[in-house]
Structure formats: structure tokens, C-alpha cells
């Protein structure tokens, strides 16, 4: 079939539209993570800005006579110059005359007297706005004025020629800044909160939960798939049914169970109850069912034990399924929050996991979003790394659960 | 080979002897268990009366089944052997687990965490091994090279694990454990575990099997039970048991330590609702409501009162949240998945990007969004104002700069959490839809195109109907997830969460506050069951609808 030029143009437009939609959504999806990543690298002075800014910046400085001064772009008679701010001047108020508002005067706030006194200052309607009236001295006479604006004066010096200085309003000078990521924030957040200990705890818990879940569900999945025993099918139905039961029903009895067996505040409460999974067992069973029977029958004829068949025939074949289950369990264990919150509850900081520390950190360091974001980056980075390494299994895993 | 030995008969006297020995052991066991049950029923066990009752019942049940096993064995019934095997297995495992507890293995995991802390970097070795092994997959056409990579990777991984274990003091740990066996309790438990283990093994032997006339089927069944046993034990201990326990708790006034049975009082409190008419709109609600009831809402002159006002507020918030998050995360997901499914380059990249939020975990995401929502320095208001600025370039449009207080205001707080949750679930749902779309054969579309169907028509009459099961799955999982929302409001609103003025109080958050801030755990368990039944009902309705649509 020949494609006409019009068809090709239409196709091109559709593709461009598709990319546009994807890019807009993609930007919205990824932006919070960019914000997290860049905020984690900011200086404390760079965090609270309105309007906000994404990149971590710090003032550019110049050294004059062994002292560091910030650099500014200042408008002077010679055009726009790069000057160092050597001193912060007193604030000045710009007043305009009541009679002739185009006439303005710069004064220090102290030099103006309120008309009628501070407690009962007189006002006047100027350009439809009510203004407070002040009196200032100008060339020997007293003028009635109102406040037009305020400015902070700064003394600027030429870095090449420090003798040459001039005073300018800081409002008119633009600070020069440079990209300056603060890697040290990560160090600081590790010291501030026990993020490092939580990180290793989370790793340990996650690794053991993944190993445990994979082991029990491979064993159970094999039994459900291949070993006929009385009550197997009804037991399997019960397992399927429990997938529907939400965790919230279990929080309170599980907590009380932990109290009874003395596991409150213990790492074991984060690991041992979670190495049994109905869902994983179900997934493994489904996979094992798809493996042809002749393979194991040959091995059985040779007198191999069931455990050996499972280990040498089924497990190698189930590699992708196991990897899928492992990645999902990993995410689940790494990000779990409610259970640790409930069971690690008496302030045993040594047994906290990342989600808990992050929660505590964002309360404690509410004034330092840069540190909070550094902690969050640490918590998010590891799953992200796993995702990059095992992307295939994520997508495959979701596909299999969806097709079910 | 195995079948031929099984068929060789055991001499009759010998078989009788084996059966009698087995029956004697089970009889002895029954007596011992009965004694233990009696002893336990006499002992005073502070505060935990219910627990003692359950233990006595379980041990009594064990005694009865042991007696039954003995009787069956005497008659050389193969079921007797199976029952005996199960009992001895459970007892051996029970002794072993208690032994581990006595030796401090469970609590010792804290010490493992202590020692793991300074050495966690050794895991880099495991990661390196994994990378080496997986990089071998590139040489799929050269099996020997690939195998070499795999082998090297595996050994690097094993080596790092061994180094890690040794440097964490695995050997000293083992020695400490063995020394712990000097305690009399530990020794007794060890003896028990060995005894029951030996009994299990003796009953299991092929000779015993033949004595009871058990065939290959029993052998398969036993291995089936053995394989499922770890899973099943964990399931009973950490799922089924707590589930029943939770149902019991919901009928008590448990505070976490003490519990008194109070009947259905908790449920009655939750469901206490009444509707009364006010005589005039100026009348105060408290004058017409029954004592203990608080005004929940009013429609005209009708006042709805509830005993537990917060429960209903939380449930309403949860339903609103669930409804909007489902819509906002499912509809765009379908759109994006449809685009991603077209065969244009770069789709895997976008697919990966969209998936990132579902990896990141709710707490981290909530912390990030909390700052994005800041009304003064947050990027969300800034971004909206930038977009408004662009729109204002159109002639005659003047949309003022907005300063939405997001999480700080009662009007917008729940919406803020809804937006964030939809953002997080979007990618996951997209991938699910994508998987469903890829299951639709291409020739259906081609046939429709030849028949002259446009893009929208193809989407409506092919994609949507064929995507039915996927949509059902996506909607159901989203509903079940969102009805259990907890972390988002808990992290994003100031402690104890749910503010401002209960605008973001969700059911699970309410449950947590009752159960763990006020320690009214009996009441919280009742709330949990009501919520569970609600979720269950929603799922059932979903299933019904799915079935109806499926028939169409």
C-alpha cells in the first residue's frame, strides 16, 4: 500500500502529539524527584526562597585583602559592573514630597519625624491611597513627605581596584551566584539522625525478608503445584482468600502477639512474621504448574529426592519468576511503614528502619528541608538502583499479575 | 527402584510389633499432653486468661488426637501413622522453635543488626558478583564464556557473604549458642526436639510405612505436607491466628494488656446513628439528640447524630479519597498506556519514568510533596502561577496569581493528598494497562481499520471491551489500596495526623489513633473489622459488575 504525503504528515503530527503528552506527564512525574535531589544539595540559606528555585546555588565571592565578599552585578555610570559588596549599609527610605510626588528624597528612617507623633500619625489621601505623613529637613526647610519605598544600601567596591567604592540600593543589585552542590548535606544528615543505622537495618530486614519469602513460597508453591495431599485444594482456596484480607485487620492482634512473645522493639518482629506469604506462594504455584511433568518424572525414576528435584530442576527454571517475586518483596519490605511504626514504638533508635527515621527527621529538621531531602534521597536511591538493575522483572511481574 | 522396595511385604509379627510400639508411643504422648493441659488449667497465669484457655484447648486437642492416633495404629490403619507423623512433627518443631527462643536467637537478631551496621559496605561485593554474573548474559551465543561469568559472579557473591558472616562474628555466635545449651530449660527442649524428631523419623521410615500398608500416595502426601509445613505454620501463627484473635479482641475492651469481654458494644457504638428533626433552625442539635450522640451532619432541619462522629467523618473522607484517586489514577493511565502501546521509539524510556513513583515508597514521596505543597515557597503554587501567566497572555484573560494553602486548609487538604496519591499510582496502573493492551492481537485492529473504523471508534469498540478484565483488576487493586490509606495523611499533616480539623482523617488513621495513641485496642479492632467488611463488600460489588459486563 502506498502512503500519501498527507498520510505521512498526519502520522508525524500524531506522533508529535503523543510525545508531547508523554513528555508533559513525564515531567510532572519526575519533577518531585528532581526537587528532592537538588534540594538535598542546597545551602540552608538557599532553601527558603520565594519564588522557589530548583538548582542549588551559592553566592559568588571574591577575596579582597584576605577577606571574602559576595559579588553583585551593579548598574553604574560605566554600565553593568561586577562589584564586591564590602559592607551592608543602613536601610534608607525614599520619600516623595506631598506637594510634588515626582520630587524624591533619600533619608535614613531615623531622620524623618511623623506628623502628629508616632501614636497618632496624620494621614493624607494621595493618588487614592491613604499615606502616613512625615516631615524631613531639606536644605534648611521642613517638607511634608510620604514614604514611597524602602531600600537597603550597600557599599560596593571594584575587586580590581578596592579603593573605588560606591553606595547603591541592594534592591537594584543582582547577586552573582554559582552552582554549588553541598555534598556535605549527606554527611550532616547521617550525623543528625540515625539514618545510617536505619539504612543498614533496612538492608538487613529487606534481605532476610526476601530470602525467607522466596524460600517459603518456593517450597509451598511446589507442594501446591506437584504434590497431591488430602486437603490440598481447599487449603489453596483458603490461601487465595487471604490475599483479599487487608493488613489493617491484623495490626492490632499482631501487635499484641509481639507483646506476648516479647518482640516489641526487636528487629525480629520486622522479619520473622513477614517471611510467609500467601501471594508469593500463589505466584510460585502458577509458575511451577507451567513446567512440564516429564522433567521431574525422569529425575524421580533416577531416585532423586523431592527436595533435590526442586533445587536442581525447578529452581533454575523458575529464575525469572523468583526474580520477579524477589523484586516485589524487596520494594514492599523496603518501603513498609505501618508495621515498623506500630512495633518499634518505644524509641529504640537502634532498631529503626528508614521510613521511621525519615518520619522522625522531617519532624525534627522541619526547618532544614535540604537535610530532610538528603535523607529522603538516601531512602529512595536504593530501590531506584534495584529498579535500574532489575527493570525487566518489574515489568514482567506486573504483566503476569495483571493477566491473572 | 523406590516402588519395588515399597512392595516387599513386612513379616506379619514385625508389622504388629511396629504398630504396637507406635500406638504405645502415641498413648504415652496422649497421657503426657493431657497431664500438661491439666497442669496448665490449674496454674495461675497473670492477666492472660484467654491465652491460657486457648493453650489448654490446643494441648487438650493434641492429647485427643494422639489418643485417636494410638487407636488407629493398633488397628494398623495408615491414617493413624499420618496423624502420628503430624503430631510428632508439630511437637518437634515447637520444641525447636522454643529452644531457639530460649537460646535468644530471635532477640539476638538485634545484635546481628548491631554488627551488620559497620560492615554493610561489604554488600558491595555481593552487588559486584551479581553484576558480573548478569553481564555474562551478553554472551548468550558463547555458552562457555557465559558460564565463566556466571561462575565467577556466583563465587564473588558467596565469598562476600562468607566474609561478611565471619567478620560479623558468626563463629563466636555459634559458640555462644552451643554454650547456651547448658541451661536446663534449653537442654530439656533440645531433648524434646530430638525425641519427637526421632519418633517422626521412625514413623516415617519405609519399613514403618509398609507395616501400615501405606503406598506411594502416602509418601507423596507426606512430602507435600512437609513442603507446605513452613509456610503453613507461619500462616497459622502470623495470619490465621491473629485474624481470629482480632475478631475476639473486637468484642473486648482490650487496652493492649488487659481485656474484658464486652459483647458487641464496640460495634454498637460505631453504628449508633440517629436522625432527628429540629423544631427550628436556631435550635441547638444537642437539645434533640439522645445523650451520647454528637451532631454529624444536617440536611435542612434534619440532624444526623452519631455516637462515634469521628468514625463516620473518617469513613467519608476515605470514600471521597478512594473515589477520586481511583478516577484520577485510572483514566490518565489508560490514556498514557494507549500512547505507550503505539509502536514509536522511546517508549521503554517513558515506561521506566512513569514507574518510578511506585518504587519510591509512600513515606519518602509524602515528605517530598509536603514541601511542594508549601503555599509560599512550594513549587506547586509557583508552577500554577507560571501556567496562569502563560494563559494570561491570551487577550481578555486575567487570572490572578493564586496562593492555595493546600495542606494547611480544611478545604484543600484532602484534595492535596488525593493529587499526590493519584500521581504515585498512575505509573503502576499504566504498566498494568500496557500489559493488557499488549495482550490484544493486532489483527483485530487491522480488520477494523479495513472496515473503516476511526481511531476513536477502534478505541471504543475494541480496546475498551477487550481491556475489561485488566480494567477490573486495575480498579479493584486501586480501590483496595486506597481504602487502606494511612501513611499519606499521617506523614503530611502534623501529629497525630488527620488535620486540619479532621479534613484528612482516614479510617486506618482513625484506627491507629484509637489503637495506639489512646490504646483502645478492642475498639480499634472493631473499627478494623468494619473497615474490612466494607472493603470486602466493595470488592464483591466489583466482582458482580465485572460479571455483568462480561456477559454483555
CATH number of the domain at A334, please.
1.10.3720.10
Question: What confidence score (pLDDT) does residue B4 get?
Answer: 44
Same domain, A154 and A290: no
3-class secondary-structure state, position B273: strand
DSSP class of A54: S
**B247: its cell numbers:** 475478631
Distances (CA, A) of B381 to A57, B385, B536: 22, 6, 39
The answer to whether position A380 is within a domain reads yes
Window 523-552 of B: residues touching A by CB (8 A cutoff) are: 524-525, 528-529, 531-532, 535-536, 539
Question: What confidence score (pLDDT) does residue A156 get?
Answer: 83
From the list B191, B177, B208, the residue with the least C-alpha distance to B91 is B191
Question: What confidence score (pLDDT) does residue B44 get?
Answer: 67
3-class secondary-structure state, position A155: strand
| Cα B46–Cα B51–Cα B55 angle in degrees, nearest 5 | 115
Question: What confidence score (pLDDT) does residue A251 get?
Answer: 92
H-type helices in B361-403, by residue range?
Answer: 362-372, 379-392
From the list A88, A67, A89, the residue with the least C-alpha distance to A162 is A67
pLDDT at B199 over 80: yes
Which residues are paired to B295 by β-bridges?
Answer: B305
Confidence of residue B193 (pLDDT cuts 50, 70, 90): very high
The secondary structure element, H or E, covering residue B124 is: helix B123-135
> What CATH number is given for B310-551 in this structure?
1.10.3720.10
Which residues on chain A are in Cβ contact (under 8 Å) with B257?
259
| Cα A161–Cα A163–Cα A166 angle in degrees, nearest 5 | 100
pLDDT at B551 over 70: no
Boundary of a domain, candidates A137, A163, A179: A179
Compute the nearest-CA separation of B417 from chain A (Å): 14
Compute the nearest-CA separation of B551 from chain A (Å): 19
Q: How far apart are CA B284 and CA B278, in angstroms?
A: 8
| Cα B394–Cα B399–Cα B401 angle in degrees, nearest 5 | 125
Same domain, A139 and A17: no
pLDDT at A3 over 80: no
Same domain, A214 and A172: no
Of B49-58, B237-246, B360-369, the least confident:
B49-58
Q: What is the pLDDT of residues A190-217, one digit of tens each?
A: 887 788 889 999 999 999 999 999 999 9
Q: How far apart are CA B30 and CA B36, in angstroms?
A: 10
From the list B410, B425, B217, the residue with the least C-alpha distance to B329 is B425
pLDDT at A403 over 60: no
Cβ contact (<8 Å) for B355 and A387?
yes
Question: What confidence score (pLDDT) does residue B279 get?
Answer: 81
The β-bridge relationship of strands A177-179 and A161-169 is unpaired
Distances (CA, A) of B220 to A143, B22, B214, B350: 108, 21, 11, 49
Same domain, A222 and A324: yes
Query: B367-400 b/e with 16+ CB inside 10 Å = b?
Result: bbbbbbbbbebbbbbbeebeeeeeeeeeeeeeee
Q: Which residue of B has its CA nearest to A368?
A: B371
Confidence of residue B75 (pLDDT cuts 50, 70, 90): confident
DSSP A231-243: THHHHHHHHHHHH
Same domain, A172 and A290: no
pLDDT at A397 over 80: no
Question: What confidence score (pLDDT) does residue B552 get?
Answer: 41
What is the predicted ipTM?
A: 0.89
**B329: its cell numbers:** 489514577
pLDDT at A170 over 80: no
Q: How many domains does chain A have?
A: 3
Overall average pLDDT of the A74-103 stretch:
80
Q: What is the pLDDT of residues B112-163, one digit of tens each?
A: 888 898 888 888 999 899 888 888 877 878 888 888 888 999 999 999 999 9
Give residue B74's Cα distance to chain centre.
44
DSSP class of B433: H
Boundary of a domain, candidates A158, A179, A200: A179
DSSP A327-385: HHHHHHHHH--HHHHHHS-S--GGG--HHHHHHHHHHHTTT-HHHHHHHHHHHHHHHHH
The β-bridge relationship of strands A129-138 and A113-114 is antiparallel
The answer to whether position A45 is within a domain reads no
Rg (CA), chain A: 35
**B129: its cell numbers:** 558478583
Question: What confidence score (pLDDT) does residue A14 get?
Answer: 83
Which residues on chain B are in Cβ contact (under 8 Å) with A372?
367, 371
CB A87 within 8 A of CB A167: no
CB A163 within 8 A of CB A146: no
Question: What confidence score (pLDDT) does residue A299 get?
Answer: 81
Q: Which residue of A has its CA nearest to B440?
A: A403
User: Number of H helices and number of E strands within chain A?
Assistant: 15, 12
Overall average pLDDT of the B352-378 stretch:
90
Could you tell me the residue range of the domain that residue A138 belongs to? 57-179
Sign of the torsion angle spanned by Cα atoms B372, B374, B378, B381: positive
B424 or B219: whose pLDDT is higher?
Answer: B424
Which residues on chain B are in Cβ contact (under 8 Å) with A353?
none
CB A242 within 8 A of CB A306: no
Q: How far apart are CA A239 and CA B433, in angstroms?
A: 26
Same domain, A200 and A149: no
The residue behind cell 489448654 is B56
Average pLDDT over chain A, rounded to whole?
A: 85
Same domain, A29 and A63: no
List the single best residue of A12, A229, A303, A381 to mutate versus B (max B Cβ within 10 A): A229
Overall average pLDDT of the A108-126 stretch:
81
Same domain, A233 and A152: no
**A100: its cell numbers:** 510634588
Question: What confidence score (pLDDT) does residue A273 get?
Answer: 92
Q: What is the pLDDT of residues B422-465, one digit of tens each?
A: 999 998 899 888 888 887 887 888 888 888 777 788 888 888 88
The answer to whether position A234 is within a domain reads yes
Window 411-430 of B: residues touching A by CB (8 A cutoff) are: 423, 426-428
The answer to whether position A52 is within a domain reads no
CB A115 within 8 A of CB A147: no
Give residue B548's Cα distance to chain centre.
30
Confidence of residue B47 (pLDDT cuts 50, 70, 90): low
Q: How far apart are CA A336 and CA A359, in angstroms?
A: 12
From the list B363, B532, B351, B493, the residue with the least C-alpha distance to B426 is B351
Q: What percent of chain A has pLDDT over 90?
A: 22
pLDDT at A359 over 80: yes
CB A128 within 8 A of CB A177: no
The full length of chain B comes to 552
Question: What confidence score (pLDDT) does residue A270 get?
Answer: 93
Q: What is the pLDDT of residues A376-389, one digit of tens each?
A: 999 999 888 888 87
Give the global pTM: 0.86
Q: Which residue of B has its CA nearest to A386?
A: B359
Question: What confidence score (pLDDT) does residue B8 get?
Answer: 62
How many Cβ atoms sit within 10 Å of the Cβ of residue B160? 18
The answer to whether position A51 is within a domain reads no
**B191: its cell numbers:** 531433648
Compute the nearest-CA separation of B118 from chain A (Å): 8
CB B308 within 8 A of CB B346: no
pLDDT at A223 over 80: yes
The answer to whether position A50 is within a domain reads no
Q: How far apart are CA B82 and CA A115, in angstroms?
A: 104
Same domain, A277 and A198: yes
Overall average pLDDT of the B166-171 stretch:
89
pLDDT at A81 over 70: yes
Residue A117 gets the label, from left (phi > 0), alpha (psi -120 to 50) or beta, of left
3-class secondary-structure state, position A337: coil
Compute the nearest-CA separation of B15 from chain A (Å): 25
Same domain, A257 and A381: yes
| A217, A248, A259 ranked by CB distance to B484: nearest | A248
Compute the nearest-CA separation of A22 from chain B (Å): 7
Same domain, A174 and A310: no
CB A314 within 8 A of CB A291: yes
| Cα A260–Cα A265–Cα A270 angle in degrees, nearest 5 | 90
Confidence of residue A400 (pLDDT cuts 50, 70, 90): low
Distances (CA, A) of B540 to B323, B330, B536: 17, 20, 6
Distances (CA, A) of A251 to A254, A396, B71, B521, B522: 5, 31, 42, 10, 12
Overall average pLDDT of the A219-236 stretch:
90
Q: Which residues touch A375 (CB under 8 Å, ≥6 apart)?
A: A189, A193, A195, A357, A358, A361, A362
Q: How far apart are CA B278 and CA B302, in angstroms?
A: 6
A2 phi and psi angles, rounded to 5 deg: -85, 140
| B336, B344, B524 ranked by CB distance to A25: nearest | B336
From the list B60, B57, B51, B87, the residue with the least C-alpha distance to B72 is B87
Same domain, A141 and A168: yes
Cβ contact (<8 Å) for B361 and A32?
no
Amino acid at each position: 500500500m502506498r502512503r500519501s504525503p498527507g498520510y505521512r504528515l498526519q502520522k508525524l503530527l500524531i506522533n508529535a502529539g503523543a510525545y508531547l503528552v508523554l513528555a508533559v506527564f513525564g515531567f510532572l512525574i519526575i519533577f518531585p524527584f528532581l526537587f528532592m535531589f537538588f534540594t538535598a544539595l542546597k545551602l540552608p540559606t538557599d532553601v527558603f526562597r520565594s519564588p522557589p528555585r530548583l538548582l542549588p546555588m551559592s553566592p559568588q565571592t571574591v577575596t579582597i585583602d584576605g577577606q571574602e565578599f559576595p559579588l553583585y552585578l551593579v548598574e553604574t555610570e560605566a554600565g553593568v559592573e561586577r562589584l564586591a559588596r564590602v559592607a551592608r549599609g543602613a536601610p534608607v527610605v525614599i520619600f516623595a514630597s506631598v506637594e510634588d510626588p515626582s520630587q524624591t528624597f533619600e533619608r535614613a528612617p531615623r531622620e524623618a519625624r511623623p506628623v502628629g507623633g508616632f501614636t497618632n500619625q496624620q494621614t493624607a489621601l494621595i493618588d487614592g491611597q491613604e499615606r502616613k505623613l512625615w516631615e524631613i529637613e531639606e536644605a534648611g526647610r521642613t517638607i511634608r513627605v510620604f514614604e514611597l519605598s524602602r531600600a537597603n544600601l550597600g557599599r560596593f567596591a571594584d575587586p580590581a581596584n578596592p579603593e573605588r567604592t560606591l553606595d547603591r540600593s541592594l534592591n537594584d543589585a543582582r547577586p552573582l551566584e554559582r552552582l554549588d552542590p553541598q555534598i556535605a548535606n549527606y554527611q550532616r544528615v547521617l550525623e543528625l539522625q540515625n539514618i545510617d543505622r536505619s539504612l543498614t537495618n533496612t538492608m538487613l530486614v529487606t534481605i532476610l525478608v526476601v530470602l525467607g519469602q522466596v524460600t517459603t513460597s518456593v517450597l509451598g508453591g511446589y507442594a501446591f503445584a506437584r504434590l497431591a495431599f488430602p486437603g490440598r485444594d481447599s487449603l489453596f482456596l483458603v490461601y487465595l482468600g487471604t490475599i483479599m484480607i487487608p493488613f489493617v485487620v491484623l495490626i492490632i492482634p499482631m501487635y499484641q502477639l509481639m507483646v506476648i512473645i516479647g518482640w516489641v522493639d526487636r528487629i525480629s518482629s520486622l522479619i520473622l512474621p513477614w517471611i510467609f506469604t500467601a501471594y508469593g506462594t500463589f505466584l510460585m504455584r502458577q509458575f511451577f504448574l507451567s513446567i512440564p511433568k516429564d522433567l521431574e518424572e525422569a529425575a524421580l525414576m533416577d531416585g532423586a529426592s523431592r527436595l533435590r528435584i526442586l533445587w536442581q530442576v525447578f529452581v533454575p527454571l523458575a529464575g525469572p519468576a523468583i526474580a520477579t517475586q524477589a523484586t516485589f518483596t524487596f520494594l514492599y519490605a523496603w518501603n513498609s511503614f505501618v508495621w515498623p511504626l506500630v512495633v518499634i514504638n518505644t524509641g529504640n533508635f537502634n532498631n529503626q528502619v528508614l521510613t521511621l527515621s525519615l518520619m522522625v527527621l522531617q519532624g525534627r529538621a522541619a526547618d532544614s528541608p535540604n537535610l530532610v531531602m538528603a535523607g529522603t534521597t538516601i531512602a529512595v536511591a536504593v530501590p531506584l538502583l534495584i529498579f535500574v538493575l532489575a527493570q525487566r522483572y518489574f515489568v514482567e511481574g506486573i504483566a503476569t499479575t495483571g493477566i491473572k | 527402584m523406590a516402588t519395588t522396595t515399597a512392595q516387599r511385604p513386612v513379616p506379619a509379627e514385625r508389622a504388629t510389633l511396629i504398630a504396637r510400639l507406635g500406638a504405645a508411643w502415641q498413648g504415652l504422648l496422649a497421657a503426657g499432653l493431657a497431664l500438661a493441659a491439666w497442669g496448665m488449667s490449674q496454674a495461675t497465669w497473670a492477666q492472660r486468661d484467654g491465652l491460657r484457655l486457648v493453650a489448654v484447648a490446643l494441648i487438650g486437642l493434641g492429647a485427643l488426637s494422639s489418643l485417636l492416633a494410638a487407636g488407629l495404629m493398633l488397628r494398623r490403619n495408615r491414617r493413624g501413622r499420618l496423624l502420628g507423623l503430624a503430631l510428632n512433627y508439630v511437637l518437634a518443631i515447637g520444641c525447636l522453635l522454643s529452644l531457639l527462643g530460649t537460646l535468644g536467637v530471635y532477640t539476638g537478631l538485634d545484635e546481628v543488626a548491631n554488627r551488620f551496621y559497620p560492615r554493610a559496605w561489604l554488600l558491595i561485593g555481593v552487588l559486584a558478583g551479581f553484576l558480573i554474573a548478569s553481564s555474562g548474559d551478553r554472551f548468550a551465543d558463547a555458552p562457555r564464556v557465559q558460564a565463566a561469568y556466571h561462575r565467577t559472579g556466583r563465587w564473588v557473591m558467596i565469598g562476600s557473604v562468607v566474609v561478611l558472616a565471619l567478620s560479623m562474628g558468626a563463629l563466636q555466635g555459634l559458640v555462644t549458642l552451643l554454650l547456651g545449651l547448658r541451661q536446663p530449660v534449653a537442654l530439656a527442649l533440645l531433648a524434646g526436639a530430638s525425641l519427637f524428631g526421632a519418633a517422626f523419623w521412625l514413623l516415617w521410615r519405609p519399613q514403618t510405612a509398609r507395616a501400615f500398608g501405606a503406598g506411594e500416595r502416602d509418601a507423596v502426601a507426606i512430602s507435600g505436607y512437609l513442603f507446605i509445613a513452613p509456610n503453613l505454620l507461619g500462616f497459622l501463627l502470623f495470619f490465621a491466628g491473629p485474624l481470629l484473635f482480632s475478631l475476639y479482641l473486637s468484642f473486648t475492651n482490650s487496652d493492649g494488656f488487659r481485656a474484658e469481654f464486652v459483647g458487641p458494644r464496640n460495634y454498637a457504638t460505631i453504628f449508633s446513628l440517629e436522625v432527628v428533626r429540629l423544631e427550628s433552625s436556631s435550635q441547638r442539635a444537642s437539645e434533640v439528640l439522645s445523650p451520647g450522640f454528637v451532631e454529624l451532619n444536617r440536611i435542612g432541619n434534619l440532624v444526623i447524630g452519631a455516637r462515634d462522629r469521628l468514625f463516620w467523618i473518617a469513613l467519608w473522607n476515605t470514600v471521597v479519597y478512594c473515589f477520586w484517586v481511583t478516577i484520577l489514577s485510572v483514566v490518565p493511565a489508560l490514556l498514557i498506556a494507549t500512547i505507550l502501546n503505539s509502536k514509536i521509539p522511546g517508549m521503554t524510556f517513558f515506561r521506566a519514568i512513569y514507574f518510578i513513583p511506585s518504587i519510591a515508597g509512600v513515606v519518602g514521596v509524602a515528605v517530598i510533596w509536603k514541601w511542594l505543597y508549601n503555599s509560599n515557597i512550594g513549587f506547586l503554587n509557583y508552577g500554577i502561577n507560571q501556567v496562569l501567566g502563560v494563559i494570561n497572555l491570551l487577550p481578555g484573560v486575567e487570572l490572578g496569581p493564586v496562593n492555595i494553602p493546600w495542606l494547611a486548609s480544611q478545604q484543600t487538604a484532602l484534595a492535596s493528598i488525593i493529587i499526590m496519591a493519584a500521581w504515585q499510582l498512575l505509573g503502576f496502573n499504566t504498566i498494568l494497562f500496557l500489559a493488557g493492551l499488549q495482550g490484544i492481537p493486532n489483527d483485530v485492529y487491522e480488520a477494523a481499520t479495513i472496515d473503516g473504523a476511526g481511531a476513536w471508534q477502534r478505541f471504543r469498540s475494541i480496546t475498551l471491551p477487550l481491556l475489561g478484565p485488566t480494567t477490573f483488576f486495575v480498579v479493584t487493586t486501586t480501590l483496595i489500596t486506597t481504602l487502606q490509606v494511612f501513611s499519606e495523611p499521617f506523614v503530611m499533616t502534623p501529629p497525630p495526623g488527620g488535620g486540619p480539623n479532621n479534613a484528612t482523617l482516614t479510617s486506618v488513621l482513625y484506627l491507629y489513633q484509637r489503637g495506639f495513641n489512646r490504646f483502645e485496642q478492642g475498639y480499634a479492632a472493631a473499627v478494623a473489622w468494619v473497615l474490612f467488611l466494607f472493603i470486602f463488600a466493595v470488592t464483591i460489588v466489583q466482582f458482580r459488575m465485572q460479571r455483568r459486563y462480561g456477559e454483555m
